Structure 1
Amino acid sequence: MRDTPYDDVLWTPSEAQKRAAALWRFAELNGFDPSDYDTLHRWSIDKKGDFWSAVWDFCEVIGDKGEIYFQPDETAWMTGARFFPQARLNLAENLLRGDDAARAIFAMDELGQVQTLTRRELKVRVAKVAQGLRAAGVTPGDRVAGVQPNDIDALVALLATVSIGGTWTSCSPDFGEAAIIDRIGQVEPKVLFATPLYRYGGKRHDVSDRIRAIMGKLPSVTTLIVSGEGAVDPALKAVHQDDFGMQANLEFERMPFDHPAYILYTSGTTGAPKAIVHRAGGVLLQHLKEHVLHGDVRPGDTVMWYCNTAWMMYHWLVSALAANATIILYDGAPILKPDDGLDCSPLWKLAELAGTTHLGISPKYLATLAAEGFSPRENADLTNLRNLLVCGAPTLPHQFDWVYQAIKRDMAFSSISGGTEILGSFLIGSPLHPVRRGQLTVKALGHAVSVFDDRGAPVIGQRGELVCTEPFPSMPLTFWGEGGAKRYHDTYFSDRAEIWTHGDVAELTCTGSGYVHGRSDNTLKPGGVRIGTSEIYAVCEKYSQFEDFVVFGAIHEGDEEVVLCLKPAEGTVISKDILNALRMDIRTQASPRHVPARIHLVQDVPYTINGKRVESAARTTAAGLPVKNVGSLANPQCLEEYRALTREAAL
């Protein structure tokens, strides 16, 4: 049981700040005392239809809501339930609404080059590409994919796709060929947007050969659109995005609430990444609730989350447009490496330049700033910053202290936690609540969040499985592909019938806040971005010098780092050159985030009696904890060497 003090409050909104918040007005409009969040939250999960209808109205969603707001299914309480079954809407129409003269986009690259677009200018660019997609034969439900950096071209491609009823899916250009094919190859896109040359970390990266290889393995793609600098093989007959489409009126295809808008991907821990299909209405309502109510994003605010186009937070950021905010697109590294050391200033210079009100980053980034002795408040004017948000990994209590010391004292600090699966948060910030040291502020409205112990009983003040017991609109529609519904069910509902089991170890407190302690499975999250082990294994298997290997995560300075243990083949000497080559192959064939922070040579790898590699046993032992299922291991004696592994001894 955690001993939770009541003097752990680091910041409290003033009465004036509370009353100015949209959440305060929302509570009053629906007949609730704004200071009684618990009752408001209970209503949001008990009267689901009424709550989400109220969100629709309060946030002024464009579309036809229909007369039915929630349709339960008595036999499949969560997986069979439907929200707004009669509704018709278009996600892009809601993202692109608002004053044509208002600033929509503030984009900057790591060289400091800035572009801005008004909503009118953005709509003109979207209309042109939308016409091009229609001319290319894209119809509602067709998939369109992007392999682009976080720039204006990528955003325009996304908005154009969903405006005509297409389904958007994307990867970051730093992903390797196999990682890209494993993802977008599943969904058979008709059109591919790609950037042959991008800049990151002070270097130009030419991935034109990768694009050629990808096109050779994507027979479904009939049209290739390239953006930015660089060129691809002329045989691919690519069209540059600047020349794609003709200027036309922007028209929106209104589709059912459950129409597929996005496909995102799981980490690929146990095989090919699962392709998660997200419904347009669920995305819109979930994100409007998070931005407007929990984040207090107001018209004219400026919102940024440091991310790439493969991450769920990119899609979350884009949705801030629906709250009539400006969104910031940053294409580059958050920390640069000039000859004289690290330059930690890029995001903070951007925050000052754009007048950022909401900034999202990761705990790892905060740890790096602290280690470098960099104080954002001393290097940038953060007058406009009202809410600093963080997610992706547990944020340690001392990092809360550092934030208020080194960044800004009068602002909300929102540690949030959710996932790609729900395209949002289960535990989130609130403009009406105090920020408590190390804690996630509240359970999100509309989510029946609980923590279950080993008995399946809800507990407070104890670690357990994070679950959700009532349906919500941003639940996935399905997993893409044959047997998708069953794979979706097996992933989240096999442990508990019709109860969502999220895969996080969490803890709720008596004050209504909570902690997330990490994943309960073997997913890795270095820098807050979920990655899988299978892609690392796929590279290792190409090396004859290694007989076996195991990958797991280890916590260091509040972040999870990737640990790779290698069992050398008999008679093989593992040199530094081999390890350097392995790291480079992992970087290019998977992604930079997959590169191990630590590599160790071991004599054996733990396996179950039926021949399954046991990552959790290696991870638990290396963390100094006992392994509960030793009896299921074929070679439990090998764990002793994992107990002795240290960062200092890593290769």
Structure 2
Amino acid sequence: MAGANLTAYAAWLAHEKGVVTEGYDALWRWSIDELEAFWASIWEYFDVIGHTPYEQVLGGRSMPGAQWFTGSTLNYAEHVFRGRDEDALALQHASELRELAPWTWGELRAQTAAIAAGLRAAGIGEGDRVVAYLPNIPEAIAAFLACASLGATWSSCSPDFGARTVVDRFAQIEPTVLLAVDGYRYGGKDFDRTGVLAGLQEALPTVRTTVVLPYLAAAPDLSGLRDALLWDDFVRAGEPLSFTPVPFDHPLWVLYSSGTTGLPKPIVQSQGGILLEQLKKLHLHLDAHEGDRVLWFTTTGWMMWNFLVGVLLTPASVVLYDGNPGTPSLDRLWDLAAEAGVTTFGTGAAFIASCLKAGVEPGEGRDLSRLTAVGATGSPLSPEGFRWVYEHVGADTWLFSTSGGTDVCTAFVGGVPTEPVYLGELQARSLGCDVQAWDEEGREVGPGVVGELVITQPMPSMPVFFWGDADGSRYHDSYFAMYPGVWRHGDWIEFSERGTAVIHGRSDSTINRGGIRMGTAEIYAAVLGIDEILDALIVDVPKEGTEGFMPLFVVLREGAELDEDLVRRIARRVREDCSPRHVPDVVEVVAQIPRTLSGKVLEVPVKRILMGQPADQAASRDSLADPASLDWVVDYAQRLRA
């Protein structure tokens, strides 16, 4: 506690600003009661480089539409590289194709500068979009920082995403440059992606330049691609790295978070908003120090990759891994932690649950003496998962379970290095985040009551807009339709008397698997493309100790049969069009899908019934096109509980 960055920040507040707080809860309350003073203190404490000073911290509190640090200009990448020792360690990386190797700050700067020069030569400047079909490798980080240095806007998808899923995301932002790998290895199997790249070129007509990094093959065959350049022919080594100052709200990147209908939401977050949020989160909550080495198992298609990149704003270094965490066994990441000297081990809650079930012993036969903290996110971590970490990783481990969202690229509730850890609970609300639990009428509920997770005051990392959402209606409808002027996130949350929290899963029907949120509309588009299937419904039912149970219910065309071949084709279609994470656990045939009188699928009510809620509380049968359509749901719920 004495050495925590949070402790030093609180002491600085008291000495320099006269803000004296006793304990974390008091500090959090000051951070939301004096929102502008808090964020101004973050700017000052971390010495943000403002090429143009700000006029106001918060030009307006309306949500959506809050304007932060008006008039200021800055550059995210400049803060990453300032004051770095060229010979110091910036990152380590490993994959199923590459042995563990380091990059110094000098190497990262040189690679970033070379990519930036290549982008500049390709005509890329402020506001242009660069998209990446790249795995979690150092070239991806250098490419992102190159984009940020130029004021260009970055967006990435993991190469295991299917072509349609990638197009649904990238096509919305009309990119100019496509950066990609020729393929990747996962679970010991090689996946060539040059055919997918050819399809992306056809589907993304605004792309003028395609650049391919040889990753799977030393000399990939690019004959099927239109005017593609190899990576080494595109980058321009030897040019210095420079930084373009941009307005605080200038687009840094576009992330994608799916809803239940339509295309994925293209969420635009700002250079300044992400910079301020990550300076706060990664110093004060993650507690990253000089000499720390932070591993978070992620892909470039999950916001945790963007979060991990932010560790480079701190004195710590990062550790990257690309591949299957279960190949050759679930020991792989623990081996990497020992080899790389990891101090903070971040992963999805499902990975911890898998290690528990498989009887993995992290400390057996390897040196994890440097490992002091374990972070878990992506889905709620069960009490059994907490116990396993403390019994098998170390009794003195700081385990912080966190919950947030792509929509703000951070955690609302989670780790606080100066607070105790309670079994199955998230430690506290994040500084500057006025998160509450509300009922359906918009009233805050008390401790011990589950409510909608809402944020009642703006945060700098909230989206500045959705790409292509000219009138802002889609942005408004995504978060502010239920409670005007208040952000509704779509999670169920419960607070305790002591301020800790428990997340009870999604309150909407978005499917969250391995931290990747995908709308049911995307899955339906894949499934309903199969001739035998007339209608479908998919839900993700929370399950204690692991990721949720995800059944797919289908209505078949007359004469069709759900045989092994059809199940395989469904799985293949979802895997290729959406992602491997969203392949259903089981497929069940039903007579009809429950729908409202207006034709809307009853995803949330079905999910609630399968979680044990009585059907008459989950949905009004009078509102259904066929009141009897819920009968099979009730029967299936009883079978699940049997």
Judge same fold: TM > 0.5, yes or no: yes
1:644 alignment partner, SS class: helix
Q: Which residue of 1 aligns with 2:623?
A: 632
**Maintained 8 Å contact 1:546/1:568:** yes
Identify the residue that residue 226 of structure 2 maps to in structure 1.
Answer: 236
Amino acid at match of 1:583: A
- From 504, 510, 513, the equivalent of 2:500 is 513
Deviation of 1:34 after TM superposition, in Å, equals: 6.1
Amino acid at match of 2:50: G
CA drift of 1:647 comes to: 11
**Aligned pairs (5 A) from 1:557-596:** 557-596=545-584
C-alpha change, 1:79 and 1:546, in structure 2 (3 Å) is closer
Deviation by residue 1:5-49 (Cα, 9 ceiling, x = unmatched): xxxxxxxxxxxxx11111001011111556422221122122222
1:533 aligned onto 2:520: yes
3-state secondary structure, aligned to 1:189: coil
| 1:208-607 equivalent positions in 2, closer than 5 A | 208-227=194-213, 228=215, 229=217, 230-233=220-223, 235-247=225-237, 248-337=239-328, 343-459=329-445, 460-483=447-470, 485-556=472-543, 557-607=545-595
Q: Any idea what SS the aligned residue of 1:506 has?
A: strand
Cα separation, 1, equivalents of 2:64 and 2:99: 47
Please, which moves more after superposition, 537-546 or 197-206?
A: 537-546
Using the TM superposition, name which of 601-610 and 91-100 deviates more: 91-100
Q: Aligned-pair RMSD on alpha carbons?
A: 1.8
The CA distance in 2 between the partners of 1:234 and 1:597, in whole Å, is: 36
Q: Equivalent residues in 2 for 1:4-23 (5 A)? A: 18-23=1-6
CA separation of 1:595 and 1:67: change in aligned 2, threshold 3 A: closer
Equivalent residues of 1:71, 1:83 under 8 A apart: yes
* Structure 1 residues 556-595: Cα deviation after superposition (integer angstroms, max 9, x where no partner): 3332132101112122222111111221121111110110
1:83 lines up with 2:68 in the alignment: yes
Q: What is the CA-CA distance between 1:643 and the residue it aligns to?
A: 2.7
User: Displacement of 1:79 after TM fit?
Assistant: 2.5
State the Cα distance separating 1:68 from its structure 2 match. 3.1
Match of 1:36 in 2: 23
Say whether residues 1:198 and 2:187 are aligned partners. no
The farther-off stretch of 314-323 and 623-632 is 623-632
Aligned counterpart for 2:134 among listed residues 141, 144, 148: 148
Counterparts of 2:296 and 2:505 in 1: how far apart (Å)?
Answer: 21
* Partner Cα distance (2:639, 2:96) in 1: 33
Counterparts of 1:222 and 1:289, CA distance in 2: 38
1:419-439: per-residue Cα shift (whole Å, max 9, x none)?
A: 011110110211110001111
Read off the aligned partner of 1:292 and give its amino acid letter.
Answer: H
Contact 2:195/2:224 (8 A) holds in 1: no
Partner deviation per Cα, 1:371-429 (whole Å, 9 max, x = no partner)? 11111122432211222111111111121111101112112111111101111011021
d(CA) in 2 for partners of 1:587, 1:647: 30
One-letter identity of the residue aligned with 1:579:
V
Quickly say closer, same or farther: Cα 1:56–1:452, change in 2 above 3 A.
Answer: same
Counterparts of 1:614 and 1:462, CA distance in 2 = 25
Give the whole-Å Cα distance in 2 for the aligned partners of 1:605 and 1:552.
12
| 1:52–1:69 CA contact under 8 A, matched in 2 | no
**Which one is further off, 125-134 or 490-499?**
490-499
Contact in 1 for aligned 2:612/2:637 (Cα 8 Å) = no
Q: 2:558 and 2:336 mapped to 1: Cα distance? A: 53
Aligned-partner SS, 2:503: strand
Secondary structure (helix, strand or coil) at the match of 2:491 reads strand
Alignment-mate amino acid for residue 298 of structure 1: H
Q: Is the 8 A contact 1:621 1:639 kept in 2?
A: no
Question: Is the CA contact (8 Å cut-off) linking 1:53 and 1:69 kept in structure 2?
Answer: no
Provide the residue aligned with 1:15 in structure 2.
Answer: none
Q: Deviation at 1:512?
A: 1.1
State the secondary structure of the residue aligned to 1:504: strand
What is residue 618 of structure 1 aligned with on the other side? 606
Shift of 1:65: 6.5
- Match of residue 5 from structure 1: none
C-alpha displacement of 1:344: 0.9
Counterpart-to-counterpart distance in 2, 1:34 and 1:231: 62
Q: Which amino acid aligns with 2:92?
A: F
The one-letter code sitting in structure 1 at the alignment partner of 2:81 is L
Percentage identity across paired residues of the two chains: 38
CA contact (8 A) 1:212 1:232 kept: no
Q: Deviations over 1:48-98 (max 9, x none)?
A: 22211221232233334724342342xx62333322112221111112232
Whole-angstrom CA distance in 1 between matches of 2:503 and 2:392: 24
**Distance in 2, Cα, partners of 1:379 & 1:399:** 22
Shift of 1:182: 0.3
- Letter of the structure 1 residue corresponding to residue 628 of structure 2: Q
Paired residue type of 2:6:
L
What's the secondary structure of 1:570's corresponding residue? coil
Contact 2:469 2:475 in 1 (8 A): no
User: How does the TM-score come out when normalised to structure 1?
Assistant: 0.93
Which consecutive residues of structure 1, in runs of 5 or more, have no partner in the other structure? 1-17, 338-342
CA distance in 2, matches of 1:233, 1:263: 30
Partner of 1:516, secondary structure, is: strand
CA contact (8 A) 2:13 2:20 kept: no
Instruction: Tell me whether 243-252 or 211-220 shows the greater mean CA deviation.
Output: 243-252
Q: Which amino acid aligns with 1:591?
A: S
Quick one: distance in 1 between partners of 2:343 and 2:274? 23
Q: Is 1:609 paired with 2:592?
A: no
Gap change, CA 1:636 and 1:620, over 3 Å in 2: farther
Letter in 2 for 1:265: Y
| Deviation of the 1:484 alpha carbon | 5.6
Taking the aligned partners of 1:437 and 1:296, their CA distance within structure 2 comes to 21
Aligned equivalent of 2:7 = 24
Task: Give the 3-state SS of the residue equivalent to 1:381 in structure 2.
Answer: coil
Residue 28 of structure 1 aligns to a residue whose secondary structure is: helix
Q: Which amino acid aligns with 1:530?
A: R
Q: 2:528 and 2:483 mapped to 1: Cα distance? A: 36
Secondary structure in structure 2 of the residue aligned to 1:265? strand
Equivalents in 2 of 1:282, 1:391: separation in Å?
22
Instruction: Report the CA distance between 1:268 and its aligned residue.
Output: 4.4
User: Deviation at 1:529?
Assistant: 2.4
Q: 1:183 to 1:431 in 2, by over 3 A?
A: same
